[in-house]
Structure 1
Amino acid sequence: MTAENTRWEYATLPLIVHATKQILDQWGEDGWELVTVIPGPDGTNPVAYLKRPKAA
């Protein structure tokens, strides 16, 4: 699969601050790549945005 025709799936994930590394490590093991982390709708709890290539 080339970069031009890679199809992606996306996920959003609320993060628990005291367990962020463990949460992201687990999602990484499942093939997800972290794109960004931004404050959640309440302005405090962070939300991670992740992506991974879709299975063919």
Structure 2
Amino acid sequence: MSAPQKWEYATVPLLIHATKQILDQWGDEGYELVTVIPGPDGSNPVAYMKRPKQES
């Protein structure tokens, strides 16, 4: 039986005028978008990202 997948996560503030560029950059790093929610101040959204954890 194989070990369960381990993940690493990142929270990324999004700028409305550059959302696609920001998400594409993180996607190039191997991250997958999980969800986007409003930021703590209620204005700029925050993206929650994940990618498989690299085994050392």
Gaps of 5+ in 1: none
Q: Structure 2 CA distance, aligned partners of 1:17 and 1:31?
A: 22
Specify the alignment match of 2:13 in structure 1: 14
Specify the alignment match of 1:45 in structure 2: 44
TM-score by length of 1: 0.91
Gaps of 5+ in 2: none
Counterpart of 2:24 in 1: which secondary structure?
Answer: helix
Deviations 1:21-44 (A, max 9, x none): 000001000000000000000011
TM-score by length of 2: 0.91
**Runs of 4+ residues deviating >3 angstroms:** none
RMSD over aligned Cα atoms: 1.2
Counterpart of 1:49 in 2: which secondary structure?
Answer: strand
Q: Structure 2 CA distance, aligned partners of 1:39 and 1:28?
A: 20
Which structure has greater helix proportion? 1
Identity of aligned residues (%): 72
